[in-house]
Structure 1
């Protein structure tokens, strides 16, 4: 290989935005990849997307080369074909660039292929544990048998969860930080009491959100709440809102472009995060920087984070939200626990930069 061959970091992921307008597709990953590209212009960032976009294609996204294999979540035979094509592409990239390493997102098929290829070619490989891949029952864990020094956890909670389930402790913890330039710098009126942001799936427990608003309405008749997101529980939540008579208090906004979500967060006093399980919950960081308080069941980091309130149950959640809404002396302030530039630097340090 020529001495002037450019360095490359290869990221393996189940999905990636199909274009630059696809703002809601794994938003934290978008922000992280942009930070890598901006902070390390001398390194070629190449993304291999296994399943989404659903069409196999090569394209450029914000100056980042993306190769999509169009897996589309299809059956076993097609999945094996995708793996074969990813492997062939990795072989080609390894001849074109000085590959500094492979980063797999989630301990899944991406880590399976990435780990095998890295061992075959003597390359560095790390797997970023990002959430549900740390739960019990992940069939890829015994097949990979990855050691703790090759695992990166997104939070202290994920370190503990993975260790509890698989008796392996991740040696690295790297949360995905924020890009503060995406937030409006102008002062915005806090005219939304409570916001929820996320997919309307069973794990997120948005029925609790609706119940909380119903209970809070007894104390605050004009309470204003919104939920941003779409999913299979939309119909049930709509029915609950009608049943509780909350049509004027709680609005389901559906899926919105990312910039619009951030603006709504900056208008909100509280982000109510009712999820039963969360690797970190990026929306919580966004809400904190937007000047909202966060109330959630899951505690991601051992060290407390300012304005992020952890509750044990629904009764505790109700008391905490009431306390925040009743605190007339509370003034919004932007809290930045983690910056994405620091995330990029911490990640690249593992790969020798």
Structure 2
């Protein structure tokens, strides 16, 4: 009898072309099903927005279609997800349930665990470690069933909730998705990647560009990401400071296109206010960029010639200036391997 797991997530791509939708989660799911002896099914709660069943690569997805509505309004949809999970288990006999984010998906997983006795694991993936997450005191899931994506996230969670989580499965990427490393000319001086919302803090990104332009009048910067509420504010700042010739906003583009932009860039500037593990930092390093970030990565001393961290705007600006003033030689750096992440999750269920 084959091994089977049920993944529960709030969101999953509707088609392969939507590679910008939760890229790590999707890549992990596809590669996990491809490289292990486990059959994977997915219940997606909010997106796709309609109730449908479909197959992507070797994974079957059951979309509940709740959309991104308030938790109270989502409750009937969560019950539908539980019912779907019960019916699927009757047919498929799952060995366990993996929930992405300690929120609605975790609630569905807990109910399936209680009803069916399935082994449960919940994987924190970002802001769900924060104090305001009401699902943590509500569900009180045993720490042995919880998984973190980084040491930093574990420290934040312990500080906020006084609960220590032992297991870490680092975010990683599928190397097959990346282009060959560009060792030729890189016409983009500075790039930023991520939806244009409060968390990414692109106002600081523009502040740094404004200062750097005094030293590099022809500076070329690019921001890749869809508008998440802050774009009009950035447009105003661009106009007020005459940055139209220095900054390009691509809007929403595919992950493949993002990688192409990064592969043509010298410096990756990350001005985020918060980050669970910063997969995009790993992607930038793998594509040969020098990374300057307000978010730390684990054991950054090992890559100090390629990664720089600070919360001080002047220090960040001066470091970028130094990078741009010196010869640039791109080097691939891979912080965490997808194979190790897959092994960690696999052993959580089959050990």
In which range does the TM-score fall when normalised by the shorter chain? over 0.9
User: Shift of the alpha carbon at 1:31?
Assistant: 1.0
SS in 1 for 2:95: strand
The separation in 1 between residues aligned to 2:63 and 2:317, in whole angstroms, is 45
Q: What count of residue pairs does the alignment treat as equivalent?
A: 347
Further displaced range: 271-280 or 298-307: 298-307
Preserved contact between residue 147 and residue 168 of structure 1 (Cα < 8 Å)? no
The separation in 2 between residues aligned to 1:324 and 1:269, in whole angstroms, is 8
Preserved contact between residue 181 and residue 288 of structure 2 (Cα < 8 Å)? no
In structure 1, runs of 5+ residues without a counterpart are none
User: Shift of the alpha carbon at 1:339?
Assistant: 1.9
User: Shift of the alpha carbon at 1:305?
Assistant: 5.1
Is 1:314 aligned with 2:313?
yes
* Alignment partner, residue 19 of structure 2: 23
In structure 2, runs of 5+ residues without a counterpart are none
Is 1:282 aligned with 2:270?
no
Once the two structures are superposed, what CA deviation does each residue of 1:16-56 show, in whole Å capped at 9, x if it has no partner?
A: 0011111111111111111112102x321111000000001
CA-based RMSD of the aligned residues comes to 1.5
Once the two structures are superposed, what CA deviation does each residue of 1:73-94 show, in whole Å capped at 9, x if it has no partner?
A: 2355642221111111111122
Residues 147-166 of structure 1 mapped to structure 2, 5 A cutoff: 147-166=142-161
Match of 2:96 among 98, 101, 115: 101
* Alignment partner, residue 39 of structure 2: 44
The separation in 2 between residues aligned to 1:13 and 1:308, in whole angstroms, is 32
The separation in 1 between residues aligned to 2:302 and 2:6, in whole angstroms, is 32
User: Shift of the alpha carbon at 1:304?
Assistant: 3.8
The separation in 1 between residues aligned to 2:146 and 2:308, in whole angstroms, is 28
TM-score by length of 2: 0.95
Residues 1-353 of structure 1 mapped to structure 2, 5 A cutoff: 4=1, 6-40=2-36, 42-75=37-70, 78-185=73-180, 187=182, 188-231=184-227, 232-302=229-299, 304=301, 306=303, 307-328=306-327, 330-352=328-350
TM-score by length of 1: 0.94
User: Shift of the alpha carbon at 1:327?
Assistant: 2.1
User: Shift of the alpha carbon at 1:168?
Assistant: 0.6
Further displaced range: 263-272 or 330-339: 330-339
User: 1:34/1:261 Cα in 2 relative to 1: closer, same or farther (>3 Å)?
Assistant: same
User: 1:76/1:335 Cα in 2 relative to 1: closer, same or farther (>3 Å)?
Assistant: closer
The separation in 2 between residues aligned to 1:189 and 1:64, in whole angstroms, is 39
SS in 2 for 1:332: coil
